[in-house]
Structure 1
Amino acid sequence: MNAIRLIALAVAALTLSACAKDIPYATLKTKYATPASRFVTLQDGVTVHYRDQGKADGTPIVLVHGFAANLDTWEPWVARLGKDHRVVTLDLAAHGLTTVPAGYEVSTPGQVAIVDGVAQTLKLDHFALAGNSMGGGVAWNYTLAHPEKVDALILVDSAGAPVDPAAMKDRKGQPLIFKIMRTAPGRAILKRLNPRPLTGKGLKQAYIDESLVTPALVDRYVDLALAPGRRELLLNGQAAPRKPATAETFKAIKAPTLVMHGDADTVIPLAAGQALAAAIPGAKLIVYPGVGHVPMEQIPDKSAADVEAFLATLPAK
């Protein structure tokens, strides 16, 4: 990022800081909790927002959202898969309506623990597990940590692929906010910046189909980003060091795996999905022409049908 743009963002942060006040959780719950919303406090003090929907006695599937999103991103799949499956969605730490204790540090192992905490709460010993973007990284890490519980793994435009990190940077069309987050000065600015100016444009680049980026969608992303302490937690988590995954990492995944990826994804390129499918033994790859980062929202009928077809091929438990 050049110095002029960084200075401009700094000025914007100062100008808009008065409009970037935290929104109390009570207010956010009133607006974004639904009759299906449930909350459970885990041993580490994290209080997780989750929903347990669909066919109560159906085969369970757990869905994990991506960075800065929340469980609402899966509602199109809940409506479709819920006819035959028990569908569990949840908000990860520093996302949605999930709250964390003082001093909490966001990490992949911590997010994996949240998924397992919800699974234990619901007494889910076996389930299919799907994740989008960052949630895909959580999903495959969960599968490595708890292979006995995951009957099937579904990775939707997933993070963490064994690709050259340099290939993931400064790609044409990548949302500006992700470029800003890669620098310490950029993260410092984002902690004070009203997220609204960058959110709408970033969502349009991620969704591709701009008609999906409604005012209500933008409001949800902005409101939840303004939860107390949320920007600090999100951005500190992005700064945490990560050990890059290699192709060898994924050889240990034994669960039947479906990799789904939009070929127009500007956040995580198709090459990442192809690398995951090549690295995970026996994985199936589905590529969606003209689709962006969130196939479950952009093409819910097609993507949910592909999940159904994949799950139908698995042995009954």
Structure 2
Amino acid sequence: MEHLGQPAPPTPRHGRRWPRRVAAVLAVLVAVTLFGAYGWRPAAVDGYRSAYESSYLDTPLARFHYSRTGSGSPVVLVAGGAQWLYSYRHTIAALSREHTVYAVDLPGQGYTTVKGEFAYDIPGMARALGTFLDAAKLPAVRLVGHSWGGAWSLYYAEHHPARVDRLVLLDSPGLDKPLASQTALFSIPVVGELAVKLMGRADFERSLRTAFAHQDRVTPEVVDETWHWMSRPDKREAFVRLVRSQDYTATDAGLARLRARTLVIWGQADQWLPASYASEYGRRIPGAVVRIIPGAGHNVHEDAPEQVNPLLATFLGD
């Protein structure tokens, strides 16, 4: 029996140490996570060399990587997120018969490098597009944009009506609607940085395949041509910044004042953005023409070039 006034037995030392050990482990985990997100830079893929012919154009803003093919009225192609001018290989071949076709990598894409700080928001990307057009001495053009590249082209056309005669949107965001669910993970601080740094070629290929309905078109070459540059630390970081900066409020608000003749092409089987977006563009852009491609995915121009290229050639032709 315990006597009154007798002190309680001392708490075992290991009972006091347990919370301290947990706190120490958690501190280490937090430190490792933050270092992985903001300190560690994964090595880029080496040894792969693209055979795609291209050139560079230096400006104070960036060293633009681009290609120029054919002759005739100028058409400028802008690729989508985590894509580059190679994604337009089928388009270039078809349009260069009647046009001078420029395919350009904007900041964060392909082999273009920015000089100094750059805002990866939509106005910033549109300004970069204008900088390239100025440097290439293209006062007026016909613009074709895919996915994010379509949103940047749309914003540019809304704010520079005298410089864009015709506009083509290929499965392009720009409406004030939720972002594609496939990019949601990269929007979360720390998690997004870790996810993009831990991404390997197999992860990239799985994501790319969701943009195609015809899986046979996602060949090892198609994967490698993009993964080679996307694996670079600066491109991974730029991708996260792009994901977090795509606010379509302004592009949505400017649809009614768009003056460029506009063609909207959409893959019916798009898993990233529903084909109903195309119909809304058709209702809200003055005079817009909408074409839905059955059995095609988000990368509609790569997934169904046989259907898309004739539409482009007719719409962009003189």
TM-score, normalised to structure 2, is 0.82
Q: CA deviation at 1:192?
A: 2.2
The secondary structure found in structure 2 opposite 1:287 is strand
The secondary structure found in structure 2 opposite 1:129 is strand
Give the alignment partner of residue 43 of structure 2, picking from 21, 40, 65: 21
Q: Per-residue CA shift, 1:236-277, capped at 9, x if unaligned? A: 222237252475420110111000001100111112222222
Alignment of 1:1-317 (within 5 A): 20-23=42-45, 31-32=49-50, 34-35=52-53, 37-44=54-61, 46-54=62-70, 56=71, 58-162=72-176, 164-165=177-178, 168=179, 170=181, 175=182, 178-240=183-245, 242=247, 244-245=249-250, 247-312=252-317
Equivalences, count: 285
Q: CA deviation at 1:132?
A: 0.3
Alignment-mate amino acid for residue 21 of structure 1: A
The secondary structure found in structure 1 opposite 2:162 is coil
Q: Which runs of no fewer than 5 residues in structure 2 stay unpaired?
A: 1-28
Q: Indicate if the aligned counterparts of 2:173 and 2:248 stay in contact, CA closer than 8 A.
A: no
Q: What is the distance in 1 between the residues matched to 2:174 and 2:139?
A: 25
Q: Which runs of no fewer than 5 residues in structure 1 stay unpaired?
A: 1-6
TM-score, normalised to structure 1, is 0.82
Q: Indicate if the aligned counterparts of 1:20 and 1:194 stay in contact, CA closer than 8 A.
A: no
Q: Indicate if the aligned counterparts of 1:190 and 1:231 stay in contact, CA closer than 8 A.
A: no
User: Structure 1 residues 118 and 103, CA, compared in 2 at 3 Å: closer, same or farther?
Assistant: closer
Q: CA deviation at 1:122?
A: 2.4
Q: Indicate if the aligned counterparts of 2:52 and 2:86 stay in contact, CA closer than 8 A.
A: no
Q: Indicate if the aligned counterparts of 1:195 and 1:225 stay in contact, CA closer than 8 A.
A: no
Alignment-mate amino acid for residue 122 of structure 1: A
**Off by >3 Å, runs of 4+ in structure 1:** 17-20, 245-248
Q: What is the distance in 2 between the residues matched to 1:141 and 1:71?
A: 20
